[in-house]
């Protein structure tokens, strides 16, 4: 009897606090998200360690300099990250009810521009690769925050931004010796994004086309894996890694396009 009374009091309290969703019990979708994040955390901690060199390109195809700038193609092709990040922030200021994580996503693009440019100036410097990954980690966290807020709830988006940022930065630091956590952040995070993309979107969502972002991401990974082949096929005009930067930066376009338009289903 006392237990039932306590439950009724708690329910009445939650009903009287509509403006405080943070204290409400987790929804079904939020429980699924918590479970998925726990699985990824366990994989990152328990999977066999990968050496830091397992996913590091020792030599990029295009090493040409331009006006004294080393590796100019791979350095300058990071500029679209800066452009998209600044454009995104400008669009964000004019948008009402932007999804959680959008600002973090655009900040990650700008950080990726800085980190990746620094890295490609001298790819043999280990801290350059870490700086590159730090920016990417922030961008991943922002995108997953957008996905979670669009398909689950705003508080899920906030939680994902915080957790993935912390996990991503830690994984980027650990990647100097063990690459497994970073692989989980990248590929596990994208698998989570696919799951969220397949989750029905509530009518109140802005309607960010998550699939468009993922298509550009997959295209970027394909360009990255074909760096030298593309460089040879284009008669040394452009390398696969340069195209990777361009495709990855264009992943921001579906988010920017969605900002400022009326909420609608797609």
pLDDT above 60 for 17: no
**CATH architecture of residue range(s) 28-258:** Up-down Bundle (1.20)
Taking residues 113-139, what's their average pLDDT?
94
pLDDT above 70 for 56: no
Question: What value does the mean pLDDT of the chain take?
Answer: 88
pLDDT band at residue 22 under the 50/70/90 scheme: low
pTM value is 0.87
- Residue 118 Cα to chain centre, angstroms: 20
In the chain, alpha helices (H): 2-15, 28-46, 72-76, 79-93, 102-121, 126-151, 154-174, 180-183, 189-197, 210-225, 227-233, 240-250, 253-258
pLDDT band at residue 27 under the 50/70/90 scheme: confident
Taking residues 63-75, what's their average pLDDT?
96
Share of the chain above pLDDT 90, in %: 76
Helix or strand or coil: residue 3?
helix
pLDDT above 60 for 13: no
pLDDT above 50 for 254: yes
**CB-CB contact of 71 with 121 (8 Å):** yes
pLDDT band at residue 197 under the 50/70/90 scheme: very high
pLDDT band at residue 97 under the 50/70/90 scheme: confident
Top-ranked range on mean pLDDT: pick from 1-15, 52-66, 196-210: 196-210
Distance from C-alpha of 64 to C-alpha of 70, rounded to nearest angstrom: 6
């Amino acid at each position: 009897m006392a237990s039932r009374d306590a439950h009724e009091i708690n329910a009445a309290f939650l009903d009287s606090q509509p403006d405080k969703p943070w204290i409400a019990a987790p929804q079904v979708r939020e429980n699924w998200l918590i479970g998925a994040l726990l699985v990824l955390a366990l994989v990152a901690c328990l999977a066999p360690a990968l050496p830091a060199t397992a996913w590091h390109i020792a030599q990029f195809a295009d090493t040409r300099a331009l006006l004294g700038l080393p590796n100019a193609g791979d350095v300058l092709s990071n500029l679209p990250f800066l452009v998209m990040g600044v454009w995104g922030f400008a669009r964000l200021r004019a948008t009402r009810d932007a999804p959680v994580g959008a600002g973090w996503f655009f900040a990650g693009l700008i950080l990726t521009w800085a980190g990746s440019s620094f890295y490609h100036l001298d790819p043999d410097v280990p801290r350059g690769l870490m700086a590159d990954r730090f920016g990417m980690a922030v961008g991943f966290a922002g995108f997953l925050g957008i996905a979670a807020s669009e398909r689950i709830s705003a508080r899920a988006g906030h939680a994902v931004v915080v957790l993935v940022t912390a996990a991503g930065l830690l994984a980027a630091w650990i990647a100097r010796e063990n690459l497994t956590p970073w692989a989980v952040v990248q590929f596990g995070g994208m698998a989570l994004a696919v799951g969220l993309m397949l989750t029905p979107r509530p009518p109140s969502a802005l309607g960010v086309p998550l699939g468009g972002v993922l298509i550009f991401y997959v295209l970027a990974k394909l360009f990255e894996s074909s760096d030298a082949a593309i460089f040879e096929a284009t008669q040394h005009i452009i390398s696969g890694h340069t195209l990777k930067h361009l495709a990855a930066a264009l992943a921001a376009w579906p988010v920017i396009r969605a900002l400022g338009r009326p909420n609608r289903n797609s």
